[in-house]
């Protein structure tokens, strides 16, 4: 497994790799867990070679976000990536990615208006900008993202379609702990008690799904039920609980067709997100 | 010479062409003149194959701009492009480029604050967005732009550097009529009298250059001299006359090092731009 630190070397390498076969790509911020490894396996199944990037992208963090606290452990990431037969790890410096007079941003409008786009202004602009850069550096045939970041998945797909990137986007189902908690690099922030209570997130999503499956069409009532259940966990601080359509990601009043139930909830300093797609 | 109308066909074709040799690209809005043909020749000199796009990009026109009036004559463009040995013309429909729920934009900050960026809000966002799309569709090794659109050239170069597009940008000197007027698709808007008076633009730039060359360092005085000269043409309506540094494109008070003297002046409904780079 090769580790590449500069953009120039990565571009030369992937130009060569693409001549030898198909290239899969998994962008990550490191602090890898089983969810990330599933993305790598999905890329491996589809492509001859797989590049994984490990880069904590400063421009997707707001001033109050956890950029500096975000967990970093490249030695561990590297071992895990070697174990799932990653071919190349792209591990650039912040200066390499964002020189002093950096000035260019990519933005997807509309889809970023609600959910995490509302709670974290500028977050998706940071995501779409770094993904554009990484696509131009790695030039993959296929790029793999997780369903856990549902809004990100929609936004990236729209960006790829709008800007005509010649990249196939694959979305992989959320990997969960045995008790249902979605795997996340931020779970390491949780105290034992917070970790225990955080199971309420997936439980509440399943409750919402059950209500819709049994005929409830009033989004307000479903959201109320979710909030009530989440509040049974005393350490939970709700950021949002929302039900949106899956074409524009705008809140719906009446549930019909496919909807995304999405939530963001703080437990201590960990802001956890989770979601389910449900057909009404 | 092949004419391609869809994004999918263009992407398949250029994937194949790149395997056979290097690919040059000249994006245009059609209404071609000798200036455009020089761009094609410059691409031809550097690359095995050349793709030219002909697309009047709606999102780079403001509500008061001349999008609907902009001259279109594809039959003529096609003949001119064949004559300079263009290999492929990409000539897409507006719907093909911007589907109904189009939502993604690329923006370069800072460099777009003054000059045409100030006069035409959103213009460069439209330019950088369409160029990103065209780069992803054509996947060129080299792309050629004209120095006549000086700010555009700076903005595209910065975008390419920031977003890590694997494309070399070549800037070709402005092609002028025998009397010095910069060639422009918008010159067809000029009446005979406007056309006669429009020579004042290049004359005033040369006057500014001469002042700087003979030691003038006060940008205000140089701009005043340009404005005074332009106003001797009764049909001229000045949009801006500006002197900016060539790193940030911000106005300078004192001329030192390399500066860009740039102007935009209306003659009737034609908004004409021109510029010179001068070393103080």
pLDDT digits (tens, 9 = 90+) for A94-105: 999 999 999 999
CB B28 within 8 Å of CB B43: no
Q: Kindly determine whether residue A110 and residue B133, on different chains, have CB atoms separated by under 8 Å.
A: no
Residues 6+ apart with CB under 8 A from A264: A115, A116, A119, A238, A239, A240, A271, A272, A273
Which residues on A lie below 8 Å from B106 (Cβ)? 104-107, 132, 163
Per DSSP, what are the bridge partners of residue A107? Answer: B105
Q: Per-domain residue ranges for chain A?
A: 2-172, 185-279
**Chain B CB within 8 Å of residue A111 CB:** yes
Overall average pLDDT of the A165-172 stretch: 98
Q: Which residue of B has its CA nearest to A167?
A: B136
> Cα separation of A213 and A219, whole Å?
13
Cα–Cα distance, A186 to A200 (Å, whole number): 16
Q: What is the pLDDT of residue B66?
A: 95
CB A26 within 8 A of CB A143: yes
Cα angle A102-A144-A13, degrees, rounded to a multiple of 5: 60
Q: Which pLDDT belongs to residue A243?
A: 98
Residue B36 is among the residues annotated as catalytic for this protein: yes
Give the pLDDT score at B255. Answer: 98
- How much is the average pLDDT of A108-128? 97
Residue located via tokens 């045995």: A178
pLDDT of residue A149: 98
Residue with tokens 């490191």: A30
Taking the C-alpha atoms of residue B223 and residue B208, their distance in angstroms, rounded to an integer, is: 7
Q: How far is A221 from chain B (nearest CA, A)?
A: 30
Chain B: nearest CA to A109, how far in angstroms?
5
pLDDT score of A9: 98
Burial class for A257, CB neighbours closer than 10 Å (0-12, 13-18, 19+): exposed
Cα gap B244→B280, rounded to integer Å: 12
**Res. B58 pLDDT band, cuts 50 70 90:** very high
- Of B247, B254, B272, nearest to B262 (Cα)? B272
Residue A122 has pLDDT above 90, yes or no: yes
Q: Which residues of B touch A139 (CB under 8 A)?
A: 166
Q: How many CA atoms lie within 13 A of A250 on its CB side?
A: 5
- How near does any CA of chain A get to the CA of B12, in Å? 10
User: Is residue B162 less than 8 Å (CB to CB) from chain A?
Assistant: yes
Q: Is A165 on the interface with B (CB under 8 A)?
A: yes
B238 at the A interface (CB within 8 A)? no
| Active-site position among B33, B36, B68, B123 | B36
For A150, the 3-state DSSP assignment is helix
Which phi and psi angles does A46 have, rounded to 5°?
Answer: -95, -20
Residue holding tokens 């001259």? Answer: B71
B233 HSE (CA, 13 A, CB side) = 24
Task: Give A158's contacts in chain B (Cβ within 8 Å).
Answer: 103-104
Task: Return d(Cα A4, Cα A10) in angstroms, integer.
Answer: 6
Read off the pLDDT of residues B219-242 as tens digits, 9 standing for 90 and up. Answer: 999 999 999 999 999 999 999 999
pLDDT at B280 over 90: no
pLDDT in tens, A10-58: 999 999 999 999 999 999 999 999 999 999 999 999 999 999 999 999 9
The fourth-level CATH superfamily of domain A2-172 is: HUPs (3.40.50.620)
* Angle between the N-to-C axes of helices B123-138 and A150-163, in degrees from 0 to 180, rounded to the nearest 10: 80
Instruction: Say if strands A88-90 and A49-54 run parallel, antiparallel, or are unpaired.
Output: parallel
Instruction: Tell me what the mean pLDDT of segment A113-132 comes to.
Output: 97
CATH number for domain B185-275, candidates 3.40.630.10, 3.30.1490.20, 1.20.1250.20, 3.30.1300.10: 3.30.1300.10
At A280, is the pLDDT very low, low, confident or very high (cuts 50, 70, 90)? confident
- Residue B209 CB: number of other CB atoms within 10 A? 16
Over the stretch B91-125, which tens digit does the pLDDT of each residue have? 999 999 999 999 999 999 999 999 999 999 999 99
Rounded-to-integer distance, Cα B78 and Cα B223, Å? 41
Any A CB within 8 A of B158 CB: yes
User: To the nearest whole angstrom, how far is the Cα of B3 from the nearest Cα of chain A?
Assistant: 19
CB-based contact, A162 to chain B, within 8 Å? yes
% of residues, chain B, pLDDT over 90:
100
Report the alpha-carbon distance of residue A188 to residue B59 in Å, rounded.
Answer: 45
Residue B105 has a pLDDT of: 98
Average pLDDT of chain B to the nearest whole number: 97
DSSP string over chain B: -EEE--HHHHHHHHHHHHHHS-EEEEEE-S---HHHHHHHHHHHHH-SEEEEEE---GGGS-TTS-TTTS---HHHHHHHHHHTT-SEEE---HHHHS-TT--EEEEE-STTSSTHHHHSTTHHHHHHHHHHHHHHHH--SEEEEETTSHHHHHHHHHHHHHHT-S-EEEEEPPPB-TTSPBP-GGGGG--HHHHHHTTHHHHHHHHHHHHHHTT--BHHHHHHHHHHHHTTSTTEEEEEEEEEETTT--B-SB--SEEEEEEEEEETTEEEEEEEEEE-
The pTM assigned to this predicted structure is: 0.97
Topology annotation, domain A185-279: 3.30.1300
Whether A219 has a pLDDT exceeding 90, the answer reads yes
Closest CB from A101, A107, A165 relative to B105: A107
Residue whose tokens read 């422009």: B184
Distance CA B261, CA B73 (A): 32
CA-to-CA separations, A228 to A200, A201, A208, A241, in angstroms, rounded: 11, 11, 11, 11
- B26 pLDDT more than 90: yes
The string of pLDDT tens digits covering residues B155-213 is 999 999 999 999 999 999 999 999 999 999 999 999 999 999 999 999 999 999 999 99
C-alpha Rg value of chain A to the nearest Å: 19
Dihedral sign of CA atoms A203, A205, A211, A214 in order = negative
């Amino acid at each position: 497994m090769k580790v590449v630190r500069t953009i120039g070397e990565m571009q030369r390498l992937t130009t060569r790799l693409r001549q030898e076969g198909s290239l899969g790509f998994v962008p990550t911020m490191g602090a890898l867990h089983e969810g990330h490894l599933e993305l790598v396996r999905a890329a491996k199944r589809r492509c001859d070679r797989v590049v994984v990037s490990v880069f904590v992208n400063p421009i997707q963090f707001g001033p109050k976000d956890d950029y500096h606290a975000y967990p970093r452990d490249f030695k561990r990431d590297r071992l895990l990536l070697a174990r799932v037969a990653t071919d190349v790890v792209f591990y650039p410096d912040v200066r390499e990615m964002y020189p002093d007079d950096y000035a260019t941003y990519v933005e997807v409008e509309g889809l970023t208006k609600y959910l995490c786009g509302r709670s974290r202004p500028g977050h998706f602009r940071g995501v779409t900008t770094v993904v554009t850069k990484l696509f131009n550096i790695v030039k993959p045939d296929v790029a793999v993202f997780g369903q856990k970041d549902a809004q990100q998945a929609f936004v990236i797909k729209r960006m790829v379609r709008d800007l005509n990137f010649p990249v196939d986007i694959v979305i992989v189902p959320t990997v969960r702990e045995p008790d249902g908690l979605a795997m996340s690099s931020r779970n390491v922030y949780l105290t034992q008690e917070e970790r225990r209570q955080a199971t309420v997130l997936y439980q509440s999503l399943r409750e919402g799904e059950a209500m819709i499956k049994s005929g409830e069409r009033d989004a307000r009532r479903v959201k109320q039920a979710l909030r009530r259940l989440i509040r049974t966990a005393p350490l939970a601080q709700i950021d949002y609980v929302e039900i949106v359509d899956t074409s524009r990601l705008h809140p719906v009043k009446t549930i019909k067709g496919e909807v995304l139930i999405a939530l963001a909830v703080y437990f201590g300093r960990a802001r956890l997100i989770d979601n389910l797609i449900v057909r009404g």
